[in-house]
């Protein structure tokens, strides 16, 4: 056969080999990258978040925050979070620049002292506002922050899902691994299990009530985090999503942090 005619056949063979040789790690990464691709291009959004903290005895306490997020080309998102409740932290604000690689930058504004305080992001494993959500659970999820391993195809709650594991790259993470149930239709997380540093099941997150914005971006309006070791749980309810309102870097600097009310 002439060499030119043989080329497609060789390519086909190579592709077949390639497909077979895709490791569980590569497949896990490919899924995470596809989920990231589908979620990029939102430019900016703002929303309201209500958190209902519940302890083992069933006592409840509420947190209210407002948040703005700006997508940054080639790096992690910028976000500004303003606390509305409880009343004693009203007006406190957190500015954070997440990075794909390396520690995030965080500044906290304390309204009583009018003080902007640069704070360490090493507390990523710590609770956010006393809730069952750690800082690392609610900060922007970048592909580079984990390594991956595909486990299996499955069904969950009537949906076709991928089940894969991800392993935090940062040694300061509170987790050894997370198991993610991601639906195949929209590539959105439906359930996440968090394993602590001793590889014991610590928490389960259920994401429900997904709504679509700009005909493209799916957002869970309800997130339920249950801590299996303490019996405490937190329900996080997101609302008032507003996309592409024209936010700029200027809305995410220390001057705007001081103006947060």
**Residue 85 binds to other proteins (criterion: CB under 8 A):** yes
Cα 20 to the center of its chain, rounded Å = 31
For residues 256 and 96, the answer to whether their CB atoms sit within 8 Å is no
Q: How far apart are CA 209 and CA 148, in angstroms?
A: 26
Minimal distance in Å, beta carbon 197 to other proteins?
8
What does each C-alpha distance from 247 to 106, 140, 191, 232, 253 come to in angstroms?
19, 17, 31, 36, 12
208: contact with other proteins by CB under 8 A = no
Residue among 56, 115, 184, 216 that touches other proteins (CB under 8 A): 115
Does the footprint of other proteins cover residue 56 (CB under 8 A)?
no
Quote the CA–CA distance of 119 and 139 in Å, as a whole number: 15
Q: Does 242 bind other proteins (CB under 8 A)?
A: no
Q: Which residues pair with 182 in a beta bridge?
A: 162, 189
C-beta closer to other proteins: residue 18 or 126 = 126
From the list 15, 16, 18, 55, which residue makes contact with other proteins (rule: CB under 8 A)? 55
Which of these ranges, 13-21, 33-41, 120-128, 175-183, lies near other proteins under the rule CB under 8 A? 120-128
Rule CB under 8 A: choose which of 37, 56, 118, 216 binds other proteins. Answer: 118
Residues 6+ apart with CB under 8 A from 168: 136, 145, 146, 175, 177, 178
Interface with other proteins includes 47 (CB under 8 A)? no
**Which of 174, 182, 190, 236 touches other proteins (CB under 8 A)?**
174
> Does residue 261 touch other proteins according to CB under 8 A?
yes
Q: Is 57 in the site for other proteins (CB under 8 A)?
A: no
Query: At its nearest, how many Å lie between other proteins and the CB of residue 189?
Result: 24
Torsion 225-153-184-20 (CA) sign: positive
Binding mask 94-113 toward other proteins (x if CB under 8 A, else -) reads ---------x-x-------x
Q: How many residues of this chain bind other proteins (CB under 8 A)?
A: 38
Q: Which stretch binds other proteins (CB under 8 A): 7-15, 125-133, 176-184, 209-217?
A: 125-133
Answer whether 107's CB lies under 8 Å from 258's CB.
no
Query: Could you tell me the end-to-end alpha-carbon distance of the chain, in angstroms, rounded to an integer?
Result: 76
> What does the block give as tokens for 217?
């971006």
d(CA 97, CA 83): 18
Interaction of residue 90 with other proteins, rule CB under 8 A: yes
Residue 170: CB minimum distance to other proteins, A: 11
Number of residues assigned to the chain: 261
For residue 167, the Cα-to-chain-centroid distance in whole angstroms is 14
Residues near other proteins (CB under 8 A) are 53, 55, 61-62, 85-91, 103, 105, 113-116, 118-120, 122-123, 125-127, 129-130, 172, 174, 196-197, 250, 253-256, 259, 261
């Amino acid at each position: 056969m002439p060499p030119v005619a043989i080329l497609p056949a060789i390519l086909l063979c190579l592709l077949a080999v390639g497909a077979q040789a895709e490791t569980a790690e590569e497949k896990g990464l490919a899924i995470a990258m596809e989920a990231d691709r589908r979620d990029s291009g939102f430019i900016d959004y703002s929303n309201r978040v209500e958190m209902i903290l519940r302890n083992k005895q069933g006592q409840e306490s509420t947190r209210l925050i407002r948040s703005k997020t700006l997508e940054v080309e080639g790096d992690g998102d910028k976000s500004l979070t303003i606390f509305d409740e409880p009343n004693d932290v009203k007006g406190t604000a957190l500015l954070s620049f997440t990075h794909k690689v390396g520690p995030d930058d965080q500044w906290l504004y304390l309204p009583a002292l009018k003080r902007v305080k640069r704070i360490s992001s090493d507390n990523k494993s710590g609770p956010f506002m006393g809730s069952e959500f750690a800082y690392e659970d609610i900060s922007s999820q970048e592909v580079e922050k984990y390594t991956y391993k595909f486990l299996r195809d499955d069904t969950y709650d009537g949906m076709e899902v991928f089940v894969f594991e991800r392993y935090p790259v940062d040694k300061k993470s509170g987790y050894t691994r997370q198991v993610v149930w991601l639906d195949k239709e929209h590539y959105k997380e439906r359930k996440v299990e968090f394993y602590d540093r001793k590889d014991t099941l610590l928490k389960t997150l259920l994401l429900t009530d997904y709504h679509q914005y700009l005909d493209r971006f799916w957002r869970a309006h309800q997130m339920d985090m249950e801590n299996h070791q303490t019996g405490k749980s937190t329900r996080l309810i997101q609302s008032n999503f507003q996309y592409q309102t024209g936010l700029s870097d200027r809305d995410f600097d220390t001057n705007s942090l001081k103006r947060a009310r």
